[in-house]
Amino acid sequence: MKRIAVLSSGGDSPGFNPCIRAVVRQGLDYGMDVFGVERGYIGLIQGRFRQLNARSVGGIIGRGGTFLGTARSEEFKTALGQREAIRNLNVNGIEGLVVIGGDGSFRGAQALHERGVKVVGIPGTIDNDIPYTDMSIGADTALNTALDAIDKIKDTASSHRRAFIIETMGHESGYLALIAGLAGGAEIILVPEIETKLETIVADLQDSYTRGKNHFIIVAAEGWKPGTQALASHLRERQEELGFPVRVTVLGYVQRGGSPSAFDRLLATRLGAAAVAALHSGESGVMVGLIGNKIQTTLLSKVVKQNKSLDMSFYELAKVLEK
């Protein structure tokens, strides 16, 4: 294989840049020409390719975001969009494609594979909701960002004797809320995967107040229902019985940005190099992931069919420790 391209797709996460850097430099090491595609599948449809050399990816290892840009493309979900993308790959003589992204990006990659394009996926999302990899690129940095916020808010919560609801990202996945909540010593963790009744939260708050706690930290994923604002209203209505006044902090997009952690840089670097090695050895329709401490490949067709379930042992542990 002489010519490959790399694109980043879907929601960005810290570590996309070091991943692109590894793809480019590993490709150059194999004697390949490496191209970057701007703005994910949109750029593929529009033929926005840029040849990259070792210097093009210099100085980006510690930068958040993705210098190639990223996007979510509705057009690429159509047969016409996919045919246009394949045409552009052919016109530019590109024989292999690396796709960095999450679930939606992998559906696109699998569609290309089924149409004969050689493609390898790399999991990158702060939600860490991709199966067949213990960690996705960006999740560790996002966790540390959320944890830093929890620690800081706890200072105010205990100084003022307040309850805080801290909302993390994760529209369908409770991973960030669960792990940041556990590591941050939260009193309650609310995730979309587990139903928690408002009454249970009220009872826990009352119990903590009675036991003499001077703060109460609730970490809630954005996808938990009925949602952070509904919970806040409910708690405010019952403030007299609770003891703690309630405040809300929505962490939002700060979790998606920032310099990637050492873990994410290393993961991104290993996965980027492994994806190019997979293309080099003729593999296609696979995702490279971290299982245990080994880089392993899994068929994309398997990856896109499954949801990654939350590790309930962490949830149980958090419940034991929230005394």
Binding ligand F6P (rule: CB under 6 A), the pick from 5, 7, 11, 298 is 11
Residues 174/221, Cβ–Cβ less than 8 Å: yes
Q: How far apart are CA 286 and CA 299, in angstroms?
A: 4
Catalytic residue among 127, 129, 140, 264: 127
Q: Which of 200, 180, 186 is nearest to 157 (CA)?
A: 186
Query: Which lies closer to ligand F6P via its Cβ, residue 202 or residue 250?
Result: 250
Contact 126, 142 (CB under 8 A): yes
**Which of these segments, 76-84, 123-131, 210-218, 303-311, binds ligand F6P (CB under 6 A)?**
123-131
Closest approach of ligand F6P to the CB of residue 123, in Å: 12
Q: Which of 27, 64, 170, 258 binds ligand F6P (CB under 6 A)?
A: 170
Site residue total, ligand F6P (CB under 6 A): 10
- When binding is defined by CB under 6 A, the residue of 17, 36, 127, 217 that contacts ligand F6P is 127
As a whole number of angstroms, the distance between CA 41 and CA 85 comes to 8
What is the amino acid identity at position 43? Answer: G
Identity of the residue, 96 or 138, whose beta carbon is nearer to ligand F6P in the bound complex: 138
Verify whether residue 127 is a known catalytic residue.
yes
| Closest approach of ligand F6P to the CB of residue 55, in Å | 30
Q: How far is the CB of 221 from ligand F6P (least distance, A)?
A: 8
Residues 192-231 that bind ligand F6P (CB under 6 A): 222
> Of the two residues 27 and 64, which places its CB atom closer to ligand F6P in the complex?
64
Q: Which stretch binds ligand F6P (CB under 6 A): 86-94, 120-128, 206-214, 267-275?
A: 120-128
Contact at 8 Å (CB) between 52 and 68? no
Tokens representing residue 285 in the block: 């329709």
- Helix spans in 161-261 (H): 175-183, 198-210, 228-237, 239-242
Quote the radius of gyration of the chain (alpha carbons, Å): 22
Output the CA torsion sign for 290, 292, 296, 298.
negative
- The dihedral through the CA atoms of 65, 67, 71, 73 has a sign that is negative
Please compute, for residue 130, the number of CA atoms within 13 A of its CA located in the half-sphere on the CB side. Answer: 32
Please tell me whether residue 169 binds ligand F6P under the rule CB under 6 A.
yes
Q: 3-state class of 68 per DSSP?
A: coil
- Residues 73, 37 contacting (CB under 8 angstroms): no
Per the CB < 8 A criterion, the answer to whether 251 and 149 are in contact is yes
In the list 50, 83, 171, 305, the residue contacting ligand F6P (rule: CB under 6 A) is 171
105 interacts with ligand F6P by CB under 6 A: no
Check binding of 310 to ligand F6P (CB under 6 A).
Answer: no
Instruction: Choose between 127 and 140: whose C-beta lies nearer to ligand F6P.
Output: 127
Residues 132-161 that bind ligand F6P (CB under 6 A): none
The torsion angle over the Cα atoms of residues 59, 60, 62 and 67, rounded to 10 degrees, is: 150
Stretches 81-89, 165-173, 265-273, 295-303: which one binds ligand F6P (CB under 6 A)? 165-173
Residues with catalytic roles? 127
- The residues of the shown chain that bind ligand F6P, judged by CB under 6 A, are 11, 102, 125-127, 169-171, 222, 256
